[in-house]
Structure 1
Amino acid sequence: MLVGFNHFDLFKWAYKMEPATPSDLVADCFELAADVRELDMRASPYDLAGLGYDPVPIETPDGRAEYARQQAAFAERARPLRERLVFVCQSILTVTSLR
């Protein structure tokens, strides 16, 4: 169901299913998506150092390793959010099938 979705999709679907989605779940999904986006911008060719964002030099072995480590951490953060969102989906399907 939501297993193949990326971190941004979790927020997208949590938001789309409001008001059935608890607001704390929407907020948690948004926070994850924002953090993932920040890493992506730090790993991009844009220089954001002047804005307080240290670059992640993915063109170097150390930078790629750092990027992979942070992506793995995001996947761990996403797991319980995904499970909660699946529960919301199942609840909606159960309620609509009873009608």
Structure 2
Amino acid sequence: MIRSAAPLDPGERWKLAQKLAIPAKCDVDPVDLPWASTVLRRQVVASGTGLFQFDSLIVEEFEDRVFFGYVRFHEERRELPDQVRGQGLSMTNAVLINQ
């Protein structure tokens, strides 16, 4: 996770990846987690590998928020088909309407 006050510019993130790859001796794909989607955050926290951390408590709290957010995301989505059916629409029409 990269902690920043604003999302990193893609060019800056690429430069950071190049700098980190040398000492890590592997390809590095930095993800600006606070600004990533709920699903991507969960995927990275669950299966990504951290290179280093300054404060494990902050990392644990962030990971907890990611997992709780992911559960909440699925709970909200679970209700969507019933809401759509109640309006007499199909899921395809509902997605097109919401775009």
TM bracket, shorter-chain basis: 0.3 to 0.5
Question: What TM-score results when the alignment is normalised by the length of structure 2?
Answer: 0.33
Q: Relative contact order, CA 8 A, sep 6+: which one is greater?
A: 1
Larger Cα-atom Rg:
2
